[in-house]
Amino acid sequence: MKIETLKKRLNKNRSMTTITMRLPEDVVEDLKRVAPLLGFSGYQPLARAYIGQGLRADLERLENDTVSALVETLKHHGVSDEVLQEALSEVIYD
């Protein structure tokens, strides 16, 4: 995830939207029980944290899959490993 995107995600004043989600009662009870043990003010912030963690992991995996596919395609078209490494380091460290 890019630094700019991560900074936006960490902003506590991001706008929120209300959703309705059906969860099994035992899951909600477990969330309520675990939330204070993990330092959360309630089960909803914990649920948001869990969703965010899973979403970030999936986004990272999907972005890496796309980059890997692009690198393989560029190699197939004759772009050297040296050029690819230089380009990737510019993307990662800029």
Residue 54's pLDDT is 94
In a domain, 28, yes or no: yes
In a domain, 15, yes or no: no
Query: Average pLDDT of each block of 10 consecutive residues along the chain (94 residues)?
Result: 69 88 97 97 95 90 83 89 84 64
Domain boundaries, position 74: 23-93
In a domain, 61, yes or no: yes
Q: What is the pTM of this model?
A: 0.63
In a domain, 1, yes or no: no
In a domain, 2, yes or no: no
In a domain, 82, yes or no: yes
Q: Which string of DSSP letters, residue by residue, matches 34-47? A: HHHHTT-SSHHHHH
In a domain, 38, yes or no: yes
Residue 1's pLDDT is 53
In a domain, 7, yes or no: no
For the chain, how many structural domains are there in total?
1
Name the H helices within the chain: 3-10, 25-37, 43-76, 81-93
